[in-house]
């Protein structure tokens, strides 16, 4: 587990942009954390890091948005889904198989419908309004070997604890 601290929305975007180049087609990043924790802000920075030129907006109502870039991005928000079945009906398996990096807001609520390997980024609000703690962990073997490289990329945000 890697623990990081950011001091502003732009700081979170900068951190996410550093992580993005370490991901590739087919990768899944689950964004966990309460409403307003910064999942969409993280996605904005991550998309920029992938080379997405257009503005990234919350997919809360559309459920899924796709962005073109050298490594294209799929951005999902599954908060409004009532049943796992809706995610399956949406064609999640095919979407994830589309050669994109997938960021899934609230993905921690639907892990039974997800592949076994993903990176989880959990954002937590703290006392200071503009600060966030980010806890990064790998689920499944695929990402665990890449944690060291990720850690190196985001070293300047590391919190000792």
- Of the residues 6, 23, 40, 44, which one makes contact with Mg ion according to CB under 5 A: 40
Distance CA 136, CA 133 (A): 10
Instruction: Give the nearer residue to ligand ADP in terms of CB position, either 8 or 148.
Output: 8
Q: Does 9 bind ligand ADP (CB under 6 A)?
A: yes
User: By the 8 A CB rule, do 104 and 114 touch?
Assistant: yes
The two three-digit tokens of residue 8, written as one number: 């502003």
User: By the 8 A CB rule, do 137 and 1 touch?
Assistant: yes
Q: Does 18 bind ligand ADP (CB under 6 A)?
A: no
**Interface segment toward ligand ADP; rule CB under 6 A; list 29-37, 80-88, 93-101, 110-118:** 29-37
Q: Does 8 bind ligand ADP (CB under 6 A)?
A: yes
φ/ψ of 127, rounded to 5, equals -60, -45
CB of 86 to ligand ADP, least distance (A): 20
In this structure, the dihedral spanned by the alpha carbons of residues 82, 99, 105 and 112, taken in order and rounded to 10 degrees, is 50
- Of the residues 4, 23, 32, 39, which one makes contact with ligand ADP according to CB under 6 A: 39
Q: At what angle do helices 39-50 and 9-19 cross, to 10 degrees?
A: 50
CB of 141 to ligand ADP, least distance (A): 28
> Binding residues for ligand ADP, per CB under 6 A?
6, 8-9, 11-12, 33, 35-41, 58, 105, 130-132
């Amino acid at each position: 587990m890697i623990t990081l601290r950011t001091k502003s929305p732009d700081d979170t975007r900068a951190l996410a942009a550093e992580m993005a180049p370490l991901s590739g087609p087919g990768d899944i990043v689950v964004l966990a954390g309460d409403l307003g924790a910064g999942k969409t802000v993280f996605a904005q920075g991550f998309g920029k890091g992938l080379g997405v030129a257009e503005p990234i907006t919350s997919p809360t109502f559309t459920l899924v948005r796709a962005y073109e870039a050298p490594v294209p991005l799929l951005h999902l928000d599954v908060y409004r889904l009532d049943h796992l079945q809706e995610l399956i009906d949406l064609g999640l398996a095919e979407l994830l198989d589309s050669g994109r990096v997938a960021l899934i807001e609230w993905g921690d609520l639907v892990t039974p419908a997800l592949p076994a390997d993903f990176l989880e980024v959990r954002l937590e609000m703290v006392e200071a309004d503009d600060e966030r703690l980010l806890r990064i962990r790998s689920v499944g073997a695929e990402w665990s070997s890449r944690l060291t490289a990720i850690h190196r990329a985001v070293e300047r945000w590391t919190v000792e604890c």
